[in-house]
Structure 1
Amino acid sequence: MSSLIAHVAAGITAYACRSSPGPRVRSLPLLAACVGLAVLPDLDYLLWWWLRIQVEPRITHSLGFAAASAGLAWLLLCGWCSAGWASLALILFTAAASHELLDFLVGVHPAPWLWPLSGALFVLPQGLLPSAGRLDWGNVYLWRNLLIEAGVLGPVMLAICASRRPGLRLPKLTWIGLAAVALAALAWSVSLPR
């Protein structure tokens, strides 16, 4: 699984890539919705941590769940946000589906992406990102993996935002540096034992 930090960053990226910035105060509910949708699928862990109930297949990690949760958020935000209804739907679905994509890139847990249409489970044979690992402040591997994850995802998320926001211009040398950081972090990640 990806870290909570990566999921929050993906939600913020979906929010930041919207085409119309709109007034700051009216955008806060959209930001909260994007972050919430990006983190929401991991709520199934609460059932395990608190009640020791293992939910399989993890339907919260499906595109059907992403679409349903984004649809509910869309209904709640439709009159509040200044974005058009189609643009708002795309932003919310992107934030919700980002969770499945990040977890897929870790390649640890099979996920029922096509649920409820199919029960097939999908997993990347060789993960590209490291797993968040055991959530413990003293866990050295957690910090190493967070560093790698930030090195890979940070430049990618910035590039996505820059491509969607014409006003965000970066010098060519900055792009080269970001690409070098992302490739080095990806090489480090792939070299880790699985």
Structure 2
Amino acid sequence: METTSLFIKNMVCNRCIRVVKEELEKNRLDVRSITLGEAVVTGHLPAEKLQEVREILADNGFELIDDKKVKIIEKIKTLIVELIHHKNTGQHLHTNYSDYLAEALHMDYHYLSTLFSSVENTTIEKYIILQKIERVKELLVYNELTLSEVAYQMGYSSVQHLSNQFKKVTGYTPSHFKQIKENKRKPLDEVGLN
């Protein structure tokens, strides 16, 4: 049976998956599978139905992606977000990101890096750092791990390396960040945006 893949921007968490699935099913689409950034539905979608889907997604803060290069960028972002925010163990963060992305997307990393930089006006490396710092913020707010455990889980070589990078990105030391009463975290779909 024919299927159609829909690539969806800003779909970065399990709640996003649930909302997109519910909205597509309300619109009488048979959702075959759904993951971060992509939904696969049964059948071919005519232009009118595709426009309805585009509007439904937009009403919920998502965007349907058409451009091939933008789809690749969104896949890169989705893979990074999944790896940093949604995997259960810290071992995956000790992985080489360039090899991981090249293998997962079956593309040359140099091409992916150049494409990402030209579209996003930042490097994949900086995007990874911003995502890692956002995850560190989350772990600090939960206050369940020591800073050493956080550094290890996030793949930093030392607490000092984590602290230096954290301060460079946020302007705060991790310990000062923990003391701040107001929430300084960002929604994942806004990480990396200026």
TM superposition score normalised by structure 1: 0.36
Larger radius of gyration: 2
Higher relative contact order (CA 8 A, sep 6+): 1
TM superposition score normalised by structure 2: 0.36
Q: Which has the higher helix share?
A: 1
